[in-house]
Amino acid sequence: MKETVLITGASGAIARALSKKLENEYSIRFLTRKKEAENEFEWDLENQIIDEKAFENVSHIIHLAGANISEKHWSDDRKKQLISSRVDSAKLILNTLKKKNLKLKSFISASGINFYGTKTTDKIFTENDASGNDFLSEVVVVWEKAADEFKEQNIAERVVKIRTAVVLSKNEGALAKMMTPIKLGIGSPLGSGKQYMPWIHIDDICSIYEFALKNPEVEGSFNATAPQHTTNENLTKLIAEVLKKPLFMPNIPSFILKLIFGELADALLEGSKASSEKIQKAGFEFKFPDLKMALEDLLNK
């Protein structure tokens, strides 16, 4: 009999791709705001409502829910939403499992590579480094604390936190946004362009979740970022090269991005390197460790 995996954040690119990867070996369920299929179960975070049938015979939960960091201006309300969509959603799941006296084999939570803070430095951050002190790192810290509660309260045998880099996917996310102006001939690096951009191919991030699910000895925090480091400028140039488009516009000045995006601009203008050594030492092998190879796979399909 197949083990049951419950996935939150059902509408996201990772959830959709991951479910396809797992569906032959596991019974997949989704928590979603609007039920459209038999294996979907509704929840309403604002009103703290959840369909408890979603948890019957569930062995593993993969918690991917969370409002998009770069979708809107960071007003005070938006900041609360960014935290609540990650933390309060985990708490609702935890409290429901406690109420039903259920225990998981694993709780695998999305997390962010922004844990280390948004700053441009040559330091390569590892999982042993301390958290940063800006808004995004604060989001990740409370997000991971909410995940750790599952182990601390004896609801899950283990907890895995996947500190996710920028996910490269053809049809949505950062790559899709960068491709559009490049295709129009008006693409250019952001600010100095020297800020590092930890990245990962969508196939590899899904494979990391699969790896974490199938290997019970995997526990704790892991950087989910490709081993090859790149800057915003290099990524922009490589996208243009793979698309066979010229890149002649000057860099977009930092002050313009700050005028447009406010505090969110910091996340676009600053970035550090992060190490993938821990996940590799655990036995994971990247299919797309090289950025140009990853872009060719995504853009030439």
Specify whether the CB–CB gap between 279 and 126 falls below 8 A: no
pLDDT in tens, 137-196: 999 999 999 999 999 999 999 999 999 999 999 888 889 888 888 988 888 899 899 999
What stretch of H or E contains 79? Answer: helix 76-99
Average pLDDT, integer, range 236-255 = 89
> Is the overall model pTM greater than 0.85, yes or no?
yes
Q: What's residue 265's pLDDT? A: 75
Spell out the CATH class of 4-166+200-225. alpha beta
pLDDT grade for 58, boundaries at 50, 70 and 90:
very high
Based on the number of CB atoms within 10 Å of its own CB, is 34 exposed (0-12), middle (13-18) or buried (19 or more)? exposed
DSSP notation for 235-248:
HHHHHHHHHT----
What residue ranges do the domains of the chain occupy?
A: 4-166+200-225
Q: Strands 27-32 and 106-112: what pairing? A: unpaired
Q: What's residue 254's pLDDT? A: 83
Q: What's residue 217's pLDDT? A: 97
Report the 10 Å Cβ neighbour count for 23.
13
Average pLDDT, integer, range 38-44 = 93
